[in-house]
Amino acid sequence: MYKYEGLLIHQNHDDDGIIEVVDEKGVRSLHFGSEPRQSSMLLSDPDRLELSYVRAMTSWLLFKPTLDDEALIIGLGGGSLTKHLLHHFSDCRLRVVEYRKGVVKVARSHFGLPLDPRLKIIIDDGGAYIRQRTESHAERYSLLLIDAFDHENMAASVANQDFFDACKALLKKDGLLVINLWGGDDNPLYAQCTHWLGCTFKQRTLFLPVQDRGNVIGFAFNEDAPFFTLKHLRQHAIALEQRYQIEFPTFLKDLKKYNARTFDQLILK
């Protein structure tokens, strides 16, 4: 059976709708009952980050040289970001919160998500999970990655001011939050999320529009995050591109281009 211009190789239903896996031209993609891809994997190179917005989310590496402690991920999808971290950072410890058990099963069966002692997956609502741990997990994580979408938009539980305040509480003082947003003038939720992030992190934020897509990746820096010079970041971006085969110099250029008001407050000349 063909769907979304590809071969449907798996389909199941849960209380939240359809979970589909489609192969097209050597790329395997996860769908939630609609055409937008929730995750994609190149079958010939499963460790390569196929989707441009996922590659853009790795721009946290511009501001943190490595990950040798704990990170929290909200939203698993096919597990692209999770696999990337496990593959490249041997000392990291990951906690992933995913709302749908069926998504976890598909990530393991069709997208190569490994069983790894450094990885703990929790079936829960991501927004509720974070809000309930502002004391028990205070200042625990150096990196917080949020990619929580349903088939229409951001999950409602992560789209509110209380959620972002709780995220800040869970981050270390020099921690960094990275979030996948859906931009555009036709999405009022995007404007609200950028406002909430700015309020929570006192405007220590940057936004990276993903070329040729509607995604915008938001970065929010906690109060003790280090300052960097633009010269250092340019050199670092070139080194990162050579190491990971990801377009970090382009990301840095776009961060400077689209954040005229806040870039100079966070990046020294």
Summarize pLDDT for 241-258 with one digit per residue, the tens: 999 999 999 999 999 999
Q: Average of pLDDT values for 32-56? A: 95
Q: Residue 10 pairs with which residues in a beta bridge?
A: 21
Choose between 29 and 190: higher pLDDT.
29
- Chain CA centroid to CA 53, Å: 8
Enzyme catalytic residues: 147
What pLDDT does 185 receive? 65
pTM, entire model:
0.95
Q: Residue 144 pairs with which residues in a beta bridge?
A: 72, 177
- pLDDT tens, position by position, 5-41: 999 999 999 999 999 999 999 999 999 999 989 999 9
CB atoms within 10 A of CB 25: 8
What pLDDT does 80 receive? 97
CB atoms within 10 A of CB 68: 12
Q: Average of pLDDT values for 161-169? A: 97
R_g (Cα) of the chain, nearest Å: 18
- pLDDT tens, position by position, 71-105: 999 999 999 999 999 999 999 999 999 999 999 99
C-alpha separations of 69 from 55, 93, 141, 145, 165 in Å:
21, 6, 8, 14, 22
Question: Is pLDDT above 70 for 150?
Answer: no
What structural domains and CATH numbers belong to the chain?
2-42 (no CATH), 52-268 (3.40.50.150)
Q: In sequence order, which residues have a C-beta less than 8 Å from that of residue 260 and are 6 or more positions away?
A: none
Residues 217, 59 contacting (CB under 8 angstroms) = yes
- pLDDT tens, position by position, 206-243: 999 998 888 999 999 999 999 999 999 999 999 999 99
Question: Is pLDDT above 60 for 151?
Answer: no
